[in-house]
Every structure is written in C-alpha cells, then in structure tokens.
Amino acid sequence: MGFFTKVDYSRQLRQSGNTDGVFSGNTQNRGWFAANVGNYTGWSGYEAYTATTNPLSAVSFLVGSHTDTSGTSAVTVTSYSGLASGVTVLSLGMPPIYPVNQFATTPTLTASTFQIHPYDLLTSGGDGDLELDVATGNVIYNGSSRRYKYDINNINFSNLDKLLSLQPRTFKWKSNHKEDWGLIAEEVDELGFKELVNYSNNEPESVQYKKVALALLEYIKVFGVNSKPVECNCEEDEFIVVDLDGEVILDSSKSLTYIVKSFANVTIKPDKGLIDKKWGSLELLPESSIIFKFCKKSNCWMIVSSDGIKES
C-alpha cells in the first residue's frame, strides 16, 4: 500500500531553470529565483556558461536586474575557473569583464577583480578620496582631519635637495599598452624618498603622488623662501673693454666665451692651442670688437664674429 505524509512547509524551495519552484529537502537553486515586491522585480541566482571566444568557464551569482551574460547586472560575483588558481570578480552595475588573458603563454590578469560601471559614479569631486591599502587590500577613506590622527610631528627630509632630481618618464602599461607618463617607484626609492613610495613585500609598488606635491611645498619653503634661491651654474660670457694698449689672455678656465671691445691697440693670446687653428696671437685696432669661443673638441679658440682685425 502507499504511504502518505503531510506537506512540511518548513522545507526549502527547490527550483530548476525555467520551471516553477518546488519544495525540496535539499538547498538547491539551479536557475533563477524571482522575488516580486510591488512594481519591483529582483533577481538572484547563479549560472554556468562558457563563452565561445573564451575557453574559461565561469559561475556567477547575481543580485538585481539581469537579462543574460552580456546584459546589465546590479551586483555580480563571478568565479572563473580554468586557471591554476581561481579568479573571483565582483562587478557592480555591469557584466563582469573577463579578468584573464587566457590566450597568453602565461595567463595574466588584464582586468580588475573589482569592477564598477563608470556611469554609476559621480563625476564631481567629493570631500574625501578612497584609496587602496596595497599592504592589506582594504579600501580606505583618506581623511585629513586631526581627529583621525595622533602622534603628529613635523617631517624633516634628509635629502630634500635631491627632490628636483626625480625624473618623470613616458612609458606604456603592460596590461593595456596605453601610453602614459609619471614617476618610476624604484627610482624614487633609490633617491632615498621612501616616504613617497608604497611597498609590497618590501619592494617598491607605487608612488604617493599627493605626497610628492607636499614635498615640493617643503622644498619651496626651504630653498625658495628661507634660503637663497637656487643658483644657476650656467656658463657666463666674459666681456672685456680695453681702453689702453696692452694684452688680453683668453682663459678657458674662467669662461668659454670672450667678447672683446677695443679702444686701443690690443694683442689677443690664447691659453691653449691656436686661434682659428692658425694664429698664435691676434692684434686688434682701436674701435674694433671680436667674439671668441673655446672649442673643446679642437682644444683651441675660434672667432665667431669680428670687426677690425689688424693682423696676426
């Protein structure tokens, strides 16, 4: 004979894909579970699929409106398999982007494991910034108020004079081949500015660009306000005016450019080599002028402009 039992409504809902939900003793949900509240329809569930252009299989858990794998999602948590270690992506307001370039010899991460649809974000500036703590992976709010801080002291850079040695460089990102420019974290570290670098496993990871601006402020305070301005070590021309008969020596240790204006009879002699590779000396008439430049390659003085040369 048959056995009859009463329905136990305490059991869970079991629903196969594209079917009505049925009660089951097991916790399973192989399709979608729809919850209708007024005019709002929410979705939750998971799916398994393999894209035709991507051999990686993925299983997603979705919450919010969803049409298919290429449609829009409110919140999607997708676990990608097919790798030595699985990759999980949390996507907000958009379908997840495949995070791995599986066609590479060694599969590499090409998309973030945390993805947000850009149009879902405010475009105006906020009162504070969000940052990623590379040491812990925590997303943090970067506040500046003293109520968030303690043990506050002035900072003293021991090598502030090297700050202007930081060299911005152009480069391309390996992840998307996009051209960009900025500082190289290792080079900032090598100059001794560890306060401006983020580290991961004791290796330079990124540059704290906001603190670079603060360091520049400190540099201006020290070298531009409280001390004399930075001196230019550029070469200066030697300008000589001769009123009496005599002799002028072109001294390359003082200057590499001499401008001589003569109102008398003057003899010009080089400290090295010949003048224009042929004269051991040069005589000027009154009311004459001449410009000499020292050529390091030829190790001699050259005439670059002249008026009133008498003889050699």
**Separation between Cα atoms, residue 136 and residue 138, nearest integer Å:** 5
Query: What's the mean pLDDT in 15-27?
Result: 51
Q: Which residues are CB-contacts of 77 (< 8 A; sequence separation ≥ 6)? A: 60, 61, 62, 88, 89, 90, 91
Query: What's the mean pLDDT in 36-58?
Result: 44
What does the angle CA 188 – CA 189 – CA 194 come to, to the nearest 5 degrees? Answer: 105
**Cα within 13 Å of Cα(248), Cβ side:** 27
The reported pLDDT for the residue numbered 40 is 38
166, 212 Cβ separation under 8 angstroms: yes
pLDDT > 80? residue 175: no
The reported pLDDT for the residue numbered 151 is 92
The reported pLDDT for the residue numbered 17 is 53
pLDDT > 70? residue 43: no
Tens digit of pLDDT for each residue in 98-122?
777 666 676 667 777 888 877 777 6
Query: What's the mean pLDDT in 160-187?
Result: 90
The reported pLDDT for the residue numbered 187 is 93
pLDDT > 90? residue 41: no
**Beta-sheet pairing, 282-295 with 300-311:** antiparallel
Tell me what the pLDDT averaged over the chain comes to. 74
pLDDT above 70 coverage of the chain, percent: 63
The reported pLDDT for the residue numbered 170 is 93
**Does the model's pTM come out above 0.85?**
no
**Separation between Cα atoms, residue 252 and residue 271, nearest integer Å:** 7
Cα-trace Rg, the chain: 38
Higher pLDDT, 186 or 244: 186
Q: Which is nearest to 119 in space by CA: 153, 92, 146? A: 92
Tens digit of pLDDT for each residue in 193-252?
999 998 888 899 999 998 999 999 888 888 875 545 445 455 578 888 888 888 999 988
In the 3-class helix/strand/coil scheme, how is 195-245 assigned residue by residue?
HHEEEECCEEEEECHHHHHHHHHHHHHHHHHCCCCCCCCCCCCEEEEECCC
